[in-house]
Amino acid sequence: ADPEPVQDFCVAAVTNGSADHPSYPGFPCKPASAVVSDDFFFAGLAKSGAAEAADSPFGSSVTPGNVAAFPGLNTLGVSINRVDLAPGGVNPLHSHPRAAELVHVVAGQMLVGFVSTAGTFYSKVVREGESFVIPRGLVHFQFNTGKEAARAVTVFNSQLPGVVLAAPSLFGADPEIPDAVLAKSFQVDGEIIKLLKSKFRN
């Protein structure tokens, strides 16, 4: 999904650990003479997120391996995350505006699903060693259906897929979306919107 590279690599000189760097979608290149093997190496996903997942209200932890975390990915059009799910945990409904996502389960089992633009829900219980793919931009989740911790590696065809979390983007936006807009959009009473906002606004 990203632009074609015009050179072998362009290790990001600065990423600021953030998606809102002024030169996004690319980052300035570190001089090639200063590039070392370690620029193409990333150990950030070696660390387990199981404890964070067990502690989180969703029972999940996503460790990103996008260009902000791994500067060597700049201009290469790929990235990777680690998803840890406690039993019963969910990586909550979200979408990626800039990439398709390949979910490869490396431990346990999880229900992985997305909804197409036609409104069809596609899902599958995916087990260790198996994969499922999420088309670009579609809302999806992973839900641990097993009794043990589960883990997936997710791979994207973008260095920075972006993430729109469904509930926080609607009920936690800052400044807030007016209650009247949400109530009418969801065809519910304003009290329900206030309740949802109380969960997703800090």
CB of 125 to ligand GLV, least distance (A): 16
Interaction mask 65-84, ligand GLV, x per CB under 6 A: ----------------x-x-
Q: How far is the CB of 101 from ligand GLV (least distance, A)?
A: 6
What are the start-end ranges of the H helices in the chain? 50-55, 166-171, 179-186, 190-200
From the list 154, 158, 171, 182, which residue makes contact with ligand GLV (rule: CB under 6 A)? 154
Which of Mn ion, ligand GLV, none does 62 bind, CB closer than 5 to 8 A by kind?
A: ligand GLV
Closest contact distance (angstroms) between CB of 153 and ligand GLV is 9
101 sits near ligand GLV (criterion: CB under 6 A): yes
Question: Bridge partners of 82?
Answer: 63, 153
Q: Name every residue whose Cβ is closer than 8 Å to that of residue 122 and which is 6 or more positions away in sequence.
A: 113, 114, 115, 116
Question: According to CB under 5 A, which residues from 101 to 120 bind Mn ion?
Answer: 101
Torsion angles phi and psi, residue 34, rounded to 5: -95, -5
Q: Tell me: does residue 62 bind ligand GLV (CB under 6 A).
A: yes
Number of shown-chain residues binding ligand GLV (CB under 6 A): 8
**Residue 2 found at the interface with ligand GLV (CB under 6 A):** no
User: Which amino acid is residue 178, in one-letter code?
Assistant: P
Residue 47: Cβ within 10 Å count: 12
Beta bridge partners of 95: 164
CB of 121 to Mn ion, least distance (A): 16
Residues between 124 and 143 with contacts to ligand GLV, criterion CB under 6 A: 140, 142
The burial class, CB within 10 Å (0-12 / 13-18 / 19+), for 61 is: buried
Binding partner of residue 81 among ligand GLV, Mn ion, none, CB cut-off 5 to 8 Å per kind: ligand GLV
Distance of alpha carbon 100 from alpha carbon 123, whole angstroms: 16
Contacts of range 114-123, beta carbons closer than 8 Å, 24 or more positions apart? 114/138, 114/139, 114/140, 115/139, 115/140
Interface ranges with Mn ion (CB under 5 A):
101
Interface ranges with ligand GLV (CB under 6 A):
62, 81, 83, 91, 101, 140, 142, 154
